[in-house]
Copies of this chain bind each other. A is one copy, B any other.
């Protein structure tokens, strides 16, 4: 009944007898409750969020549906262990390309222990977090043939510069994505995945509008998952990983929001120069039709 998910791009993975999440055939994703405060924080977040009536429905769709917790045999064979039962957000997507982007310049909640802050700060400075307000944590990209998957090593991704991030955001929507830096990404799916009224940019802008006013939660170290199926179909944005969410206490999550604005600007810019006359991403926000003489800079 339970299987190891094939489409996980970051986080602990249930490979080689290690503890990791499981999925079933009914579209559910079983995430082992992390030990200590992380597990209790994530469970508390899902419980609070799923019952909070002030969350707009349009925003709720960006979060995995929560089905409670369930004790089941851990993937590492260590015995029964409590799992969060969540919607399997990639279920139903055939060959989905996925990118996991950890949001915020600062990944540490302000009240964390000193040694945790120091470790996070070091990672935030070594990666693009401090510079860009986000960092790519993992991704995999399907190419033309269904079996042809490019999934780079963690270490490769960790060393990304801002320029690498720009390039990978293009490769993510290309039919010729590859580790070969000399091969120019064709951005074949850029307009369908990123652009348009239902594309990823439109979805990120909806999220942004909510983050400009919501003061309920602060999402430290949370990820934006971007995904799309073959040919750029079904582009979707989801938020995952809530082990470091804290109470907003009446203050907006300026850390997440700043990174989100940066990601939006990055995706717009990174793809604009590739197809300036195909679709004007800036215009797509207002659902204006694309035209050959569109003048977005």
Contact = CB atoms under 8 A, between A and B. Distances in A.
A293 to B, nearest CB: 21
Interface residues of A, number: 27
A71 interface: no
Contacts of A252: 261-262, 265
Contacts of A106: 105-106, 130
Contact of A213 (B131, B249, B258, B265): B265
B130 A265 contact: no
A24 interface: no
Contacts of A261: 212, 252, 254, 257-258
24 contacts: A105-B105, A105-B254, A106-B106, A106-B130, A110-B125, A110-B130, A132-B254, A133-B255, A133-B258, A162-B249, A162-B250, A212-B261, A212-B265, A213-B265, A215-B265, A215-B269, A252-B261, A252-B262, A252-B265, A254-B258, A254-B259, A254-B261, A255-B258, A258-B259
Interface in A192-223: 212-213, 215
